[in-house]
Amino acid sequence: MHILFVADPLESFQTYKDTTFSMMREAQRRGHQIAVCEPRQLLWQQGGVVQAQTRRITLTGLADPWFEEQPSAVLALHSFDAVIMRKDPPFDSEYFYATHLLEQAEREGAKVFNKPRALRDHPEKLAIMEFPQHIGPTLVTRDAQAVRAFHAEHQDIILKPLDGMGGMGIFRVKADGLNLGSIIETLNREGAQSLMVQKFLPAITQGDKRVLVIGGVPVPFCLARIPQGGEVRGNLAAGGLGVAQPLNDADRAMAQAMGPTLAARGLLLVGLDIIGTHLTEINVTSPTCFQEISDQTGFDVPAMFVDALEAAVAASVHPAL
C-alpha cells in the first residue's frame, strides 16, 4: 500500500514514544510506502480534486536522522491506498477545515482513517455524554450558577475546558469551594465558553487508564497514567507515570460494548480514558500510548493497528467480500 500520514511536522517527532512513528515503522516493515504532509499542505482548487504537498520518506532505523526523503510532490489524496489523519489536538478551526477537505477527498475516492465526519462528530470530552451508563456525574454548561449547584451537590469536583489536551486547564475544587468563582471565570470566559464539570474520582490515584480500541477490538493491555507528587492529573504531558497493565474485566467489558459502535462510525482507532470504572474521555483525533504498551508488555500494538488498517482498506476495495 501507499499510505499518506497527515500529521504534525516530522521534525517535531519524539520517535522513542511517538505513536505515529510506530505506525510508520510497522507499515514500512511490511513493505508499504510512506508519505507525509501537514494539514496546512492540503489544497483544493476550483474544478480540481483535493491534493497535498507530500514528502515521500523512508525510515532509517537510526535515532538521528530517523528518516530520509525524496523530493516533495503534489499528489491527489485519492491516489493513496490509505490516508491516516494523525494531527495532534487542539481541535481548532483549522483542524475543522482540514476534516472538510479530507471529507471531500473521500467523495473523490480517498480512504481516510479516522473518518473525517466521525472526527467532527466526536469531540473528545463531550462524546462521553452519549454513553451515560459508563460515566460519573458530569455537567456541560456555560452557566456559572449551574456549576455552583453541581459543586454544592458533589462537593469535590473537576473543572476543565472542552478543547483542552494533555491535562491543560484542569482544576480540582474541594468542599471548601476555594477559588471556584475565579476558576469558573477563567474557563467559561464570562459565559462565552462551555466547560465540563465532573465529580472527582478518587480512583485517579491508581491511574487514568488509556484503553486502546482498534477496529472495534480492545488492545488487551492499557496504560495507567498515574499522577505524581501533588498532581491530580495523570496525563503523561503533565508528568504522570505510565504503567502498562492487563485490562481488567470492567475495562474490557466497556471497550467491547462501545468498540463496535465506534468502529461502525468510521473510527478505526479510539483511545478510551477510564478512571476506576468510569469513562472520562473518548480520544479520536490522535490516540497515543502504542510504544509505551508495546515496550512494557511485548504486545505489538502497531502490528494490530496495521492489521486493522489493511483489513479496512481491503474491505473498502472489495465491499462484497
Q: How far apart are CA 255 and CA 257, in angstroms?
A: 5
Cα separations (Å) of 233 from 51, 165, 216, 239, 278? 40, 11, 28, 8, 16
Decide the pairing of beta strands 278-283 and 269-275. Answer: antiparallel
Grid cell locating 205: 490515584
Residue 318: left if φ>0, alpha if ψ -120 to 50, beta else—which one? beta
Q: How far apart are CA 85 and CA 244, in angstroms?
A: 26
Burial class (CB in 10 A: 0-12, 13-18, 19+), 230: exposed
Residue 103: left if φ>0, alpha if ψ -120 to 50, beta else—which one? alpha
Following DSSP, what letter does each residue of 99-144 receive, concatenated?
Answer: HHHHHHHHHTT--EES-HHHHHH--TTGGGGG-GGGS-SEEEES-H
Please list the residues that pair with 244 across neighbouring strands.
223
Helix (H), strand (E) at residue 93: helix 93-107
Residues designated catalytic: 125, 160, 210, 225, 233, 273, 281, 283
